[in-house]
Structure 1
């Protein structure tokens, strides 16, 4: 059995507003953008992941216990996403998202879903693909699961593909006052 890394004397908690097209890891053999391009604090690791094509809150820590507490599915930490979808989303689609969606890997747990105004956020580089004849709309979707690409699969299942996905909140922490590509250190 391998040796366990000792817990650090002081737990660090870093809130990063991860930009689009950045991997949620510190190294990449293909020379793509990673966390090392944005975080200069040694010995911290992502507590969970955020896909390369998603933006927003990613929590990093130097504590394995904190990492487990935040990322393990059994702990059911709420995560709130701001989701721009293709089309004018309907009340029926919002009701379905709120009730749970049948995906290939089973039914999702009920979510909190509501229509929202377009948030005041940074421009995405590159911008999303928009079609002149098709409107877009924004929803706030809060889930406590963390299946692979779950939010994207949920919105597609109700007929409104995700165009832009921003994780706004994990548990009590948000990206409020953290610009894209920047981080802040908070007390755990």
Structure 2
């Protein structure tokens, strides 16, 4: 039986257990021996990170060939309009090529934990929230996609990977789920 840990990664935490500097890592939060991240989440992104002790499960989660959907909630600068959302749905040309089409919709601001530090609020610049579901995992892809359509990302929270979701998992907390790989 494989072990699977769902972790709600806070902003500023590295998706690894060690660091040469004094930055926060998974070791500061997850006290489960023998598990490793299945994929990555940037230091300045928050939300769901899966860890497992099973190499095949890790590959199934992280390998783009399996195209496991990943859903993100993104607070973006500007008011997302239908044309921008449609660009995201069709795919966006980035420096490393065209992205696969994404599911994209504007959503009401989600009820999330406060970010530390908070997103800088600017009275003169509106913002909104969008939900994006991708089936590939390029480096900083959501941020690059939203910027390419004129909506720079201010806050990024990964909410779901495949069937696994944050649900009511508090920031900085983890829970273990049984899976068969």
TM-score by length of 1: 0.94
Which residues of structure 2 form unaligned runs of 5+? none
Alignment-derived partner of residue 44 in structure 2: 53
CA shift, 1:177, in A, is 1.1
**SS state of the match for residue 12, structure 1?**
strand
**Counterpart-to-counterpart distance in 1, 2:31 and 2:85:** 40
**SS state of the match for residue 112, structure 2?**
coil
Alignment-derived partner of residue 181 in structure 1: 172
Alignment-derived partner of residue 70 in structure 2: 79
Alignment-derived partner of residue 113 in structure 2: 122
CA shift, 1:129, in A, is 1.6
Is residue 96 of structure 2 the alignment partner of residue 105 of structure 1? yes
**SS state of the match for residue 84, structure 2?**
helix
User: Deviation per CA, 1:83-131, whole angstroms, max 9, x where unpaired?
Assistant: 0000111111000001000000000000000000000010000001221
CA shift, 1:135, in A, is 1.1
Alignment partner of 2:153 out of 152, 158, 162:
162
TM-score by length of 2: 0.98
**Counterpart-to-counterpart distance in 2, 1:82 and 1:187:** 26
**SS state of the match for residue 85, structure 1?**
strand
Aligned residues: 179
Alignment-derived partner of residue 16 in structure 1: 7
Deviation larger for 149-158 or 130-139: 130-139
Alignment-derived partner of residue 163 in structure 2: 172
Alignment-derived partner of residue 58 in structure 2: 67
Which residues of structure 1 form unaligned runs of 5+? 1-9
CA shift, 1:27, in A, is 0.1
